[in-house]
Structure 1
């Protein structure tokens, strides 16, 4: 079974084709022929060793990747609402060779749903992990309709989903953007757009002097943006940052693996794509054998939408 991964950690150049064993199929599981897999910041952490497994044996590969789109090739006992030949999308919790960058993968049925109708396979691949992360972040904030949520990194894949889901929840959204991304972020639905960068807190406070009710920190600015949140407000973070003792604001780390088998949430995201609530953005599709190039582009910054690897 072909996969793209690493046997040693380092820069994009360490990515290579690996021969990994096919996974066995059990009850309640689905085998998916991977057509497309996205490239996310988490993947670069697996590749570089920042997210290394402590038990990895020498010479045994790690395979990155957290979301795929493809076709069902086999279903296990107890799976009744997916069938061979169905076009699907899925979230992957990577562990060793079990990552999305492979020709075929076995997943719990709770992580797999039908792909949205009317979209490409590459577009469908961009939704599961990023969409669930955005949904979980907003659910943790638990804001009421009419409340104000700030979004950093708003032009990115995660930030864009947060904006659109927040608007669907009835929230007011203030989002940051570089000059070149202002129209993009407005088009995603932000009510107020402020300049990104060192002055983002000041700009948010200018618009909302008491601070915002909640903030989703998709740009990983962490402590720098806490002052944008009002006293007693909440901030959802990625990369596990827990506030380091912050008491004025509730800091809520988002771990998407906690909802990786919440099929109801994933299927609702599918419906919201079909309803026109969510916009799927693909920056580029490249052959899986050029994964190193995709990693270099992502780490260089400025990518809008998701880079997608083609395994078809």
Structure 2
């Protein structure tokens, strides 16, 4: 089968599509024939060596939508099931979802949305799980205030919609041209350049502004970043942490349900063939992408 990998770290040109053996599922694993797989900033980080792995072949891709085509022992899934899944983790990852087939744990899988196609479905797992798990860390009650930075991005957009469903008062920080979009997600307030110091009960920092965004949290509030172990230190009694996305098929199934209800907005920016993976990385590096780039084997 074909798979997108890096063997030396660098820019988009470091991405190679190689021929490799089709992986076999072990106990409590399933193999998915990939129909579509989203390209995320974390893949660019893996390509550049941010997560290590020097001298090894590193597979790319976390999100996947496709069809179960083989199951290991003790699997609750059946061949032919149409699914979405998160291929988790950056360690011990010889192959990712940017391939013709991928093996994942049975508990990372959920039935695919019924109301959208596979390309759109592939944009859901990583970013939506990041958003909902970040909101869980914030522990906000209905009526409390939240500022989402990078609210027009993939994680930020999901966070706005999910927080509004929890009864949280959401303000969105994004570029001026994105105001109509983020308000359509449910944000009640919009900001471009920043916010008043201490104005919010919490900040979800999807734009990775760090200490700048921390200043917008009230004393004793909460701050969650999206890069593990890279959040700012606590000040003024503000609890600070960062989300480390975990595969969770049960939670993913709940998010799929919200997609089918029309409560979560999936956005596809562009699609590329798997063989054009390096071009897709180059497009991501250019910036200005609204929605996710998706690779199709």
Alignment of 1:145-164 (within 5 A): 145-164=142-161
Contact 2:222–2:239 (CA<8 Å) still a contact in 1? yes
Deviation larger for 1-10 or 13-22: 13-22
Give the whole-Å Cα distance in 2 for the aligned partners of 1:111 and 1:85: 17
- 1:307 corresponds to: 293
Q: Secondary structure at the match of 2:59?
A: coil
Give the whole-Å Cα distance in 1 for the aligned partners of 2:235 and 2:94: 37
Give the whole-Å Cα distance in 2 for the aligned partners of 1:294 and 1:110: 29
- 1:242 corresponds to: 231
Contact 2:233–2:240 (CA<8 Å) still a contact in 1? no
Q: Secondary structure at the match of 1:304?
A: coil
Q: 1:245 to 1:179 in 2, by over 3 A?
A: closer
Q: Secondary structure at the match of 1:8?
A: coil
Matched, 1:109 2:106: yes
- Residue by residue over 1:14-44, the C-alpha shift from the partner in whole angstroms, topping out at 9 and shown as x without a partner, is 1111223332312211110011111111000
Give the whole-Å Cα distance in 2 for the aligned partners of 1:100 and 1:246: 39
- 1:185 corresponds to: 182
- 1:37 corresponds to: 37
Give the whole-Å Cα distance in 2 for the aligned partners of 1:146 and 1:98: 44
Matched, 1:62 2:30: no
- Unaligned 5+ runs, structure 2: none
Contact 1:6–1:14 (CA<8 Å) still a contact in 2? yes
Count of matched residue positions in the alignment of Structure 1 and Structure 2: 294
- 2:72 corresponds to: 76
Give the whole-Å Cα distance in 1 for the aligned partners of 2:120 and 2:271: 10
- Residue by residue over 1:112-132, the C-alpha shift from the partner in whole angstroms, topping out at 9 and shown as x without a partner, is 111010101011111111010
- 1:19 corresponds to: 19
Matched, 1:125 2:132: no
Deviation at 1:166, TM superposition (A): 0.4
Give the whole-Å Cα distance in 2 for the aligned partners of 1:45 and 1:242: 17
- 1:221 corresponds to: 209
Q: Secondary structure at the match of 2:17?
A: strand
Deviation at 1:108, TM superposition (A): 0.6
- 1:269 corresponds to: 255
Give the whole-Å Cα distance in 1 for the aligned partners of 2:205 and 2:285: 18
- 2:267 corresponds to: 281
Matched, 1:233 2:221: yes
Q: Secondary structure at the match of 1:291?
A: helix
Contact 1:33–1:103 (CA<8 Å) still a contact in 2? yes
Root mean square deviation, CA, Å: 1.4
Task: Give the TM-score normalised by structure 1.
Answer: 0.91
Give the whole-Å Cα distance in 2 for the aligned partners of 1:121 and 1:284: 14
- Residue by residue over 1:257-300, the C-alpha shift from the partner in whole angstroms, topping out at 9 and shown as x without a partner, is xx31x222111101111111101111111111111222122122
Give the whole-Å Cα distance in 1 for the aligned partners of 2:48 and 2:141: 40
Deviation at 1:89, TM superposition (A): 0.5
- 1:141 corresponds to: 138
Task: Give the TM-score normalised by structure 2.
Answer: 0.95
Give the whole-Å Cα distance in 2 for the aligned partners of 1:69 and 1:210: 41
Alignment of 1:86-101 (within 5 A): 86-93=81-88, 94=90, 95-101=92-98
Deviation at 1:245, TM superposition (A): 4.9
Q: Secondary structure at the match of 2:31?
A: strand
